[in-house]
Structure 1
Amino acid sequence: MTTTSTVQDNILFVHLAGDLIGSPDTQLLLQSVNDHLGESITNCAVDLSEIRYINSTGIGILVSLLTKFRSRGGEMVLINPADHPKKMLALTKLNNIFAVAPTEEAARQQLTPAAQ
């Protein structure tokens, strides 16, 4: 899995590609997010459009990230989940917990009121 992240408008944008399965890459993802949380970023958008496969560990990572942001008074939005992640979120009924946006711009609009 590859991870890239940027901060724009006080929102952490994380782009993931590959398989979200709990490999050592997920530790790098969590560390990167923790570093940004230390910079007082409280909102996050995670782009899942290029995630081919996600397992229960990957779902757990997303729940952990959501908890981190919500516990700081922020929010997290998933951007355009690919087919498999979308099915896993529905199967686990987490599609009712996570906010989902079709595009990065839509995610920004969802998070901007919370960021101000």
Structure 2
Amino acid sequence: MKYQTEQKDDILYIRMEGDLIASSDTQQMIDDVDGGKPLVSLLCAVDLSNVRYMDSSGMGVLVSLLTKFRNRGGELVLIKPSDHIRKLLIVTKLNAIFTIAENDDFAAQFLKESIY
């Protein structure tokens, strides 16, 4: 899996590509987001539009990120997950804890309203 991070308007965007499975890349991403230094933002949008496949460890990564932001009083939203990932979220009932946005604009609007 590849990922890029971008800070824009007080929101940390994490854009993932490939397969969201257990790997050194996923651990590196979590370390980069947490890394022992304070997060620049309390808000995070995870773009899953280019993620082809996700297994249980990938779900764990998403839950871990959500927990990190919520523990700091922030929020996280998923952007445009594929049908495969949406089905996994429903089957595992994680759709009850994640907010799904169809694009960056909706994600930004939801996140800003969630803390103000």
TM-score, length basis structure 1: 0.93
The question of whether the paired residues in 2 share the 8 Å contact of 1:10 and 1:115 is answered with no
- Give 4+ residue runs of structure 1 displaced > 3 Å after superposition: none
Matches of 2:2 and 2:89 in 1, distance apart?
A: 21
- The structural deviation recorded for 1:22 is 1.0
Gaps of 5+ in 1: none
Deviates further, 32-41 or 98-107: 32-41
Shift of 1:35: 4.2
The answer (yes or no) to whether the contact 2:33–2:39 under 8 Å persists in 1 is no
- 1:66 has 2:59 as partner: no
3-state SS in 2 of match to 1:53: strand
Percent identity over paired residues: 47
| Maintained 8 Å contact 2:21/2:56 | yes
- Tell me: CA distance 1:86–1:37, structure 2 relative to 1, closer, same or farther (3 Å): farther
Instruction: Give the number of aligned pairs.
Output: 116
- Taking the aligned partners of 1:63 and 1:24, their CA distance within structure 2 comes to 17
Q: Could you list the runs of 5+ residues in structure 2 that have no partner in the other structure?
A: none
Partner of 1:104: 104
Matched, 1:7 2:10: no
